Structure 1
């Protein structure tokens, strides 16, 4: 089994004892991303801006593993307010192509740093001969 830690300065540094992502035998397990600006490590404001930034952070980690959104097979989205579900869907439709990954949207009481949304995913790099 090969295991590689994936890290990029284009996504926020971990704010705890975890890696941005771990690649094991072609499967990338990504830690949750909140809407921290990777340059300032400050949370962006507003649900739409936070949703976009969280996805941008996730995409930066994907890129560091030489993957793209089409490689994501499963995603979890955590929302402090499930009333923002439709807005998150709209942003996701802009950034992802059909077929979309499997996904869960989970309502939570709170998120780190007071974030309104957090996104985590699992991606698989499928070889061209499969």
Structure 2
């Protein structure tokens, strides 16, 4: 079985959210400095020994996160019918980054979202 390389790019954004139906303070509008880790699997390296250029991944991640930065996530269309929890945010980012980055030899493997230090969730598909 051939080996698989995996790279990770980390970025951040600031946004507010309120959890509808939550019994506690998080039902009120509040903000986080979100940290996002994008894990990308590479099944083949180019002649330089690179699976995917960090710069390319950073650019796509930054572009996607720029649409969320300094927003109320509850008002972002993708969260109009679901709570903007860290779990749902991780799935949204996984789907969006996969759509933009996946190729025959490259696959987004996991997205990790931290809403505060030590508290986060991840999403991946088997």
Give the TM-score, by structure 2 length: 0.32
Q: Which structure has greater strand proportion?
A: 2
Normalising by structure 1, we get a TM-score of: 0.31
